[in-house]
Structure 1
C-alpha cells in the first residue's frame, strides 16, 4: 500500500479533493464522513502520487515505507475498511458548497468560542465574500481544546493549529480575546451589534460518578487534570498529589488513555513537549507506577478510538495489560477481528480492529519493574473510601445485558473488590453549561436547535449543539450545517440590521496580540528544544500580548 492514514484526522477533505483516483473514503457526501474515526486509503487503487500527503494540513498521511513500527497496524486497518466497504463504483461524491456573494461588509457575525468549532464556523462564513466575523473567547489565547486538551505527547495532532492559523489570517476575520460573554458583554450586546451570533462554547465541565466519597481529596476530574498538564490558566496553580503507587481512571475514552499515558510517561520525554512546566515538575517527583482504567462494559463497547489504542500499544517503556476479558470473546488475535460482541451485534471494521488489538495486549507477558497501564473491563466504581483523602476505590464486577432497543448496559454481577489508591480521576464524559439568554436541555446538556438554528439570528455549533461527540474534524461538517442555516435566514431577510457603535470591549486582545503571545512562547521553547513554553498566568499572557508592536522577549510564566 503506497499511502496510509495514521490517525484521527481533521476531516477537512483536502486529501479527498487532491486524490486524482478517488481512493480516500468516506468522502464528503458519503455515510460516515465527519463521524468516522478516520479516513481510509484504498490499497487497490492508490497510485502513489503523493498528492494526498501534500494536501493534508495535519500530516496524517504517510507512505508505507515511512511508517514507524507502532504505525504498521494502520496498513491492515486501511485494507480492512475496503473489505467491508469496497466503493467499487469509484464515483466521486464530493459536492462543493455553494458560494453566496454578498456586498462587502454586508453580513457581520459574532462567534463565541475560539476553539475548533468556532474557528471552523468562521472559516465556513468567510468562504462567502462580504462576510465579516469577530471571534470572542474568554481566554487570551485561541484554539480551545486543540491547545489545552490534546495531550502534549501528541504534537502531531496539534498540527491542526496550522490550519487554524490560516483561518485567522483571512480578510474579514477579527479576534476579541480575553472577553467573557455574559460578564464583559451580554448576549443582547452581541445581537445588537451583529446580524447573527454563533455560540461554539463547547462543554466545559465533566460528568459526575454519583457515588459515595466522590468529593474526597484525591478524587478529581480528568477534564481539570488535562487542563492542568496542558497549562490552562484556570488550572495552572492546582496541586495534585502524585505520591501514590496506583492511580485509577474511571472511563476508557481517549481522554482516559491520554491521562494514563501522561501519568506513566518518562518525564524526560515529556520535557521535549509543550507540557506545563509546573506539571512536568510534579511528574518528575511522581510515585505513580500503575494506572488502572475502569470500563463498566466490555472491549467491544470501549469508547477509545483505534488510533489512540495503537498509540498505547506502541509504548516501549510501559506495560499495557488487559483484565476483565469476556468469556465469549476469543483471545486469539487472529479470530478477534471477526468476533461478535457480547450483545450479539456484528462488529464493524473499527470495533473488530479494537478487539484484535486488545486481544494482543491481553496475551502479552508483563515485564517486571516497568510502569504499567491496566485496561480493566466489566468493572464499575461503587464507593470511594478514606479519611482526609482517598485511600481506596471499591469496584463491582459487571455483566452485559441488551435492552429492547439494542442498547448494551452493564449490571452489577459480583462481590465488591477494593483497589488501594490515592488518586481517582473520573473521565466519563463532558457536559456543557447553560448559555445565558439561550434555552437549555438539561437532559442532553445542549441548546435545542434546528440545523444549528436556535432562532433567526442565534445559532450553535460544536458540543453545545450536538453534545460531546466526534473528533476535531467533526466540527467542520457541524459548522457547515449551522452556517447554511444562518445564510438561509440572511437571504430570507430574517436577520435584524445591527447598530453601529463603539467597541464594547476595549481591553480585548486581537490577532496581533495573540501572535505576540505565540512568538514569545515559541521563542522560549526554541531555547529548550521544545515546540513552545506555554505562559500559564493571565498576567504573563497580557504582558506578552503588549509586546505586539515590539520584538518578542521571554516573559516569566
Structure 2
C-alpha cells in the first residue's frame, strides 16, 4: 500500500488523484487536503457563474472522491494545521496542487487607490469565495476599466454588463446579484497592451459578448492588421479575431458599451482618495511582437479598475519557490524527494481546466517510478488523523460537503442551482449532526 497526500482539491488535485488510482488500483490511499470546507477549487470559485456547463466537470472529481481509495480532508490549512515536513514524514509522496489564487500586482502609481481590485478578488466576490465576500466593489460609478486580454477579463466585462434576467440559471451569489442589478456602470473599457492578433481570448467566450441584452462590444477597425493576415493565425485565434471584426463592423448601440482599447498600456491610476481616471500610453509592436510605449498618452475616466493580468502561487514554508514566475521551483513537476507539484503551482497560471489533466497523469507516473515496487511503512491517513485531532482541527469530510451542498441547493433563489454559503462558519454549521 502507498500513501499519498494531494494539497488542493481543484482540477489539478483531482486529476492527480484520478491518475494515482489508475496507476495503483486498490494499492493506494490518497488524501486530498484543502484549506476550505468546500472542494473543487476554481471550478467552484473561479469559473464564471453563468458558465454552468463548465462546472459540470466536478461530477468527474466527485467520482474520484467517493471511491474507496481517496478521501477529502477539508478545512485543513498546510502551514497552520500541518507542515510540509510533517506531511512528508506521513506519506510516501506529497503533491502540491494549490493553484495560483493570488493576484499578480499591477505595479503602477495609484495601484493602491480605493476602487482598484484584482481579478482573483473580484471573481471571488461574485462567486462567493469566503475571503472575498465582503469586497464591496465600487459599482456606483459610470465607467469601469478591465485590464487584460484573456478570458478572465472577458468574464469580468460580461458579468459587469449583464442584466438580472441574464443571470437566470447561474449560481452568482445573492450579494453580487443584487449589487450588479443596482450598478451604475454603463461603459466598460477592456485594455490590452497588444493588438487583436495577440489576444488570449477563446472564441466561445468572446462570441458571448455579441448576444448581451443591454451591452454592445465596440472595436476600432483601425486596430486590425490587413484582413488577409488573419489566415496566418491558428484556427481558434482566427475565430476570435473574426468575432472582433464583426463587433467593429456592427457598430450597434445599446445602453452599455464594452470598448476594446488595443495597443494601450496603463501607466498610472489617478484620483483624490479613490479611482477617478487611468492614464494610458499608446503602444506599438516590435518585430518580435513585444509591446513598447510610444510616449503618446491619454486619460480614461473610470471609478473601478479590475486588473486581470495574471496570478501567483503563494509560497509555502520549506518549499523552493520561483518568485519571478510566481510558482514552485520544479523540474517537470518534481520539487525534491517525495515532493511534487501539478497545475498552476507547477506551470504558472496558463491553460484551461483540462490542461491540468496531463500534469496529474505525468506526475502520477513519475511517483510510481520513483517509489518503485513494494509497500510503505509510513502511517499515511491514520497518522494525519492523529495529528489533526491533537491540534483540534475541525476536519470536513466529503460526506460533510454533500450536506453543505444540499443546504446550498435548498436555499437557492428561483432559477439558480444553489446559493453558496460565503462564511466558513455557516458551511460548518450546515453539516448537521
The TM-score with structure 1 as length reference comes to 0.74
TM superposition shift of 1:299:
0.6
Q: Which residue of 2 aligns with 1:399?
A: 284
For the pair 1:449 / 2:330, whether they are aligned, the reply is yes
Residue segments in structure 1 that go unaligned for 5+ positions in a row: 1-105, 339-345, 550-557
Q: Which residue of 2 aligns with 1:352?
A: 238
For the pair 1:264 / 2:161, whether they are aligned, the reply is yes
Length, aligned pairs only: 424
* DSSP-derived class of the 2:135 partner: coil
Q: Which residue of 1 aligns with 2:2?
A: 107
* DSSP-derived class of the 1:416 partner: strand
* DSSP-derived class of the 1:398 partner: strand
Pair member with larger Rg: 1
TM superposition shift of 1:207:
1.6
For the pair 1:244 / 2:141, whether they are aligned, the reply is yes
Deviations 1:37-90 (A, max 9, x none): xxxxxxxxxxxxxxxxxxxxxxxxxxxxxxxxxxxxxxxxxxxxxxxxxxxxxx
Aligned runs of 1:210-289 on 2, under 5 Å?
Answer: 210-270=107-167, 272-289=169-186
Deviations 1:145-198 (A, max 9, x none): 100001111111111111121121111111110000001111122112111110
CA pair 237-328 structure 1, distance change in 2 beyond 3 A: closer
1:467 to 348, 351, 372: 348
* DSSP-derived class of the 1:286 partner: coil
CA pair 353-192 structure 1, distance change in 2 beyond 3 A: same
Deviations 1:86-112 (A, max 9, x none): xxxxxxxxxxxxxxxxxxxx0010100
TM superposition shift of 1:312:
2.1
Q: Which residue of 2 aligns with 1:209?
A: 106
Distance in 2 between the 1:146 and 1:306 partners? 20
Q: Which residue of 2 aligns with 1:71?
A: none
Contact 1:336/1:352 (<8 A) preserved: no
Distance in 2 between the 1:492 and 1:376 partners? 57
Distance in 2 between the 1:280 and 1:385 partners? 29
Contact 1:298/1:325 (<8 A) preserved: no
* DSSP-derived class of the 1:292 partner: strand
* DSSP-derived class of the 1:263 partner: helix
Q: Which residue of 2 aligns with 1:311?
A: 208
1:504 to 387, 398, 404: 387
Distance in 1 between the 2:370 and 2:130 partners? 38
2:264 to 355, 360, 379: 379
Higher RCO structure (Cα 8 Å, ≥6 apart): 2
Q: CA RMSD in A?
A: 1.7
Distance in 2 between the 1:246 and 1:152 partners? 23
For the pair 1:390 / 2:270, whether they are aligned, the reply is no
Q: Which residue of 1 aligns with 2:410?
A: 523
TM superposition shift of 1:349:
1.3
Distance in 2 between the 1:314 and 1:266 partners? 12
Q: Which residue of 2 aligns with 1:10?
A: none
Contact 2:170/2:417 (<8 A) preserved: yes
TM superposition shift of 1:379:
0.7
Deviations 1:441-487 (A, max 9, x none): 11222222233121231110111111111100011111111111111
Distance in 2 between the 1:297 and 1:327 partners? 11
Q: Which region of structure 1 is more displaced relative to structure 2, 370-379 or 291-300?
A: 370-379
TM superposition shift of 1:325:
3.8
Distance in 2 between the 1:118 and 1:327 partners? 40
Q: Which residue of 2 aligns with 1:363?
A: 249
Contact 2:313/2:328 (<8 A) preserved: no
TM superposition shift of 1:492:
6.2
TM superposition shift of 1:303:
1.4
For the pair 1:118 / 2:13, whether they are aligned, the reply is yes
TM superposition shift of 1:311:
2.0
Distance in 1 between the 2:235 and 2:230 partners? 8
Distance in 2 between the 1:174 and 1:454 partners? 24
Q: Which residue of 2 aligns with 1:59?
A: none
Distance in 2 between the 1:485 and 1:193 partners? 19
* DSSP-derived class of the 2:353 partner: coil
Contact 1:242/1:287 (<8 A) preserved: yes
Aligned runs of 1:111-150 on 2, under 5 Å?
Answer: 111-127=6-22, 128-129=24-25, 130-150=27-47
TM superposition shift of 1:238:
1.8
Distance in 1 between the 2:405 and 2:114 partners? 35
Distance in 2 between the 1:316 and 1:231 partners? 25
The TM-score with structure 2 as length reference comes to 0.94
CA pair 206-221 structure 1, distance change in 2 beyond 3 A: same
* DSSP-derived class of the 1:227 partner: helix
2:97 to 179, 200, 205: 200
Contact 1:324/1:376 (<8 A) preserved: no
Q: Which residue of 1 aligns with 2:76?
A: 179
CA pair 380-242 structure 1, distance change in 2 beyond 3 A: same
Contact 2:102/2:312 (<8 A) preserved: yes
Distance in 1 between the 2:114 and 2:86 partners? 41
Distance in 1 between the 2:421 and 2:302 partners? 32
